[in-house]
Amino acid sequence: MTRTEIPARTGWSAALKEGQTFSVIDVEGGQAADLWAFNAADVEEFLSAHHTRTMNAEVYPRKGWTFYTNERRPILEFVDDTSPGRHDCLAAACDKVRYELLGAGSDHGSCEENLQAETPKHGFEVRHAPQPIDTNPCHSDPSASRVPPAVRTGDARRR
């Protein structure tokens, strides 16, 4: 298995073949990551959080879930999870405007900008990121507020 370290506030992408797996491992603890997937044959078809929630009849991603596209076709399977808490598929990706509103300044990296930097490597561009699957945990109550990542060193999510 190839291991790729992704520096903070950056992105990574790869073209995967059917049946291929990957893991997201938090090596330092307290990190978060957004996940997107696109159909290489038609990038207008992409992993859709809201179609996935509907198809699974559940709100929060968990081991055993199938992730679906905006065409309601399976695109990824969530095969393992050693990290604590619920993962999010309700919130929009962080973006430049969000960090400006929070006072972080325009030079603070964002998940949407990371996606926009990665997609040209695969021959397409996105103006706005689709809603991601996010490793950030959610509260156990129905609120939409965010909590700090609770992942520990070595926790893994395999999709």
The full DSSP string for 23-57 is EEEESSSS---EE--EETTEEEEEB-HHHHHHHHT
Distance CA 159, CA 118 (A): 19
pTM, rounded to two decimals: 0.83
- The tens digit of pLDDT for each residue in 63-83 reads 999 999 999 999 999 999 888
Decide: 137 and 116 in contact? Cβ < 8 Å. no
pLDDT in tens, 109-152: 889 999 999 999 999 999 999 999 987 666 565 454 556 777 77
